[in-house]
Amino acid sequence: MNEPHVLKNSVDRSAFYKELDALNLAPLWEVLKGLVPADPRPTAAPYAWQWTTVRPQLLAAGGSISAEEAERRVLVLENPKLRGKSQITDTLYAGLQLILPGEVAPAHRHTQSALRFVLEGSGGYTAVAGERTTMHRGDLILTPFWTWHDHGHDGTGPVIWMDCLDVPLVGFLKTGFREEHAEAAQGTSRPEGYSQAMYGSGLLPVGQSFGSLTSPVFNYPYSRTREALHRLARTKEIDPHLGICLRYVNPANGDWVMPTLGPIMRLLPKGFSTSMYRSTDSAVFVLVEGEATIEVEGATPVKLKENDVFAMPGWCAYRLHASTGECVFFSFSDRPVHEKLGLFREERR
C-alpha cells in the first residue's frame, strides 16, 4: 500500500502563488465557488427609466445631431451597475431612437439581431431586406442579423422607438461584423405589406422551405396583438405568474422570432397581481397601456406609467400589479438562448 500523502507547506502559500502568477498560472481552488456559483448572480440592478424624463432628452438630442451624422440617433439605456458598457442587463442592449421628419438613418447591416418596439409617432418606417414597413405605436419590427436596414420618416412630428439588440452576447462571442450600404436608403424590391400577406396571415406559400433561425414576418402590428390579448382577457384562464402572456412566433416553425431575442406581450386585468416569479433570462419591460407596479423581491415597488422602461436582471424574483385599469406590457429577453443551450430555469412561488 502507498503511504498517505502529507502536505509540505499548507500554511503560507503566498510565495507559491507568486511563482504561479509569474507563469500565468492560477490556483482554481481560490476562485472555484465564484466560477461555478450555487445560483446566478447578475451584475445588473433592477432599474426604471421614466418616459417623462427620457423623452425630453431624446428631443434635445434631435436638436444637437442629425440622424445622418449620428448614423443612429439613440440614447442608450445603461444599467446603473454597468455604466459605460452600453448594457441594460448583463446580456441585453436597449436604447431609444429618435427620427425626425425627412431624415434617413442610413442603411447598414450587422451580425447583431435587432427588434424595434415603437413608442411614439406615425409616418416613420424601417426598410428591411428590400421591403419597407410603416411604424405605428406598439408595433414590433424585426431586423434579423445580417439584413440591410435603414430607417426614415415621411410624416410629421417625432418618431421614437426602443431598439433591442443582442450586442453584449455577440460581443462576448467576438462575432461582430458590420457593413455600410452604398446607398443611404436601400432600394425596395417588394411592396409594403408583402411579407405580412405572404407569411403573416395564417398562410404560407406552398412548396417554399424556410431557414429556421428568423421569422419571415418582420412587422407584428399592435392592432393585431392587442386584439388577441383583449379577446383572450374575456375568455382565457389567467396564468397566476404571467398573466395573459403570449410570445411572438416564427410562423414557419413555431419557434421564437429570432435566435437570440425573445419578445413577449402580456395583459393583466384590472387589479390583477402576479405571484412571485423568476427565471434565468434577463428582460426589459415597457408598459404599453395602463398603470402598473413592479415589485422586485426585497426592494420598494416601482410605479410605471406608459412607455416607462424597466430592466429586470436574470433570476430576480418579481411580481407585476395592474394598479388602476387593465395594463399591457411588452418585454424582450434572452430566453431563446437559454432554451437552446438547456440553461433556462424558472421558479414559480
Binder to ligand GTQ among 67, 107, 142, 165 (CB under 6 A)?
165
Tell me whether residue 44 or residue 114 sits nearer to ligand GTQ (CB atom): 114
Q: Tell me how far, at minimum, the Cβ of 341 lies from ligand GTQ, in Å.
A: 25
Q: Tell me how far, at minimum, the Cβ of 181 lies from ligand GTQ, in Å.
A: 11
Q: How many residues of this chain interact with ligand GTQ, rule: CB under 6 A?
A: 9
Q: Which of residues 202-241 bind ligand GTQ (CB under 6 A)?
A: none
> What binding mask, one character per residue, do residues 283-322 give for ligand GTQ by CB under 6 A, x or -?
----------------------------------------
Tell me whether residue 159 or residue 296 sits nearer to ligand GTQ (CB atom): 159
Q: Tell me how far, at minimum, the Cβ of 153 lies from ligand GTQ, in Å.
A: 13
Tell me whether residue 169 or residue 229 sits nearer to ligand GTQ (CB atom): 169
> What binding mask, one character per residue, do residues 133-162 give for ligand GTQ by CB under 6 A, x or -?
----------------x-------------
Can you say whether the dihedral through the CA atoms of 247, 249, 253, 257 is positive or negative?
Answer: negative
Amino acid at 55: R
- Please tell me whether residue 72 binds ligand GTQ under the rule CB under 6 A: yes
* Rounded CA separation 245/291 (Å): 17
- Please tell me whether residue 118 binds ligand GTQ under the rule CB under 6 A: no
Tell me whether residue 267 or residue 284 sits nearer to ligand GTQ (CB atom): 284
Binder to ligand GTQ among 120, 131, 163, 295 (CB under 6 A)?
163
Q: Which of residues 83-102 bind ligand GTQ (CB under 6 A)?
A: 95, 97
Q: Tell me how far, at minimum, the Cβ of 102 lies from ligand GTQ, in Å.
A: 18
Binder to ligand GTQ among 44, 54, 67, 74 (CB under 6 A)?
74
Query: Which spans of this chain sit near ligand GTQ (rule: CB under 6 A)?
Result: 72, 74, 95, 97, 110, 114, 149, 163, 165
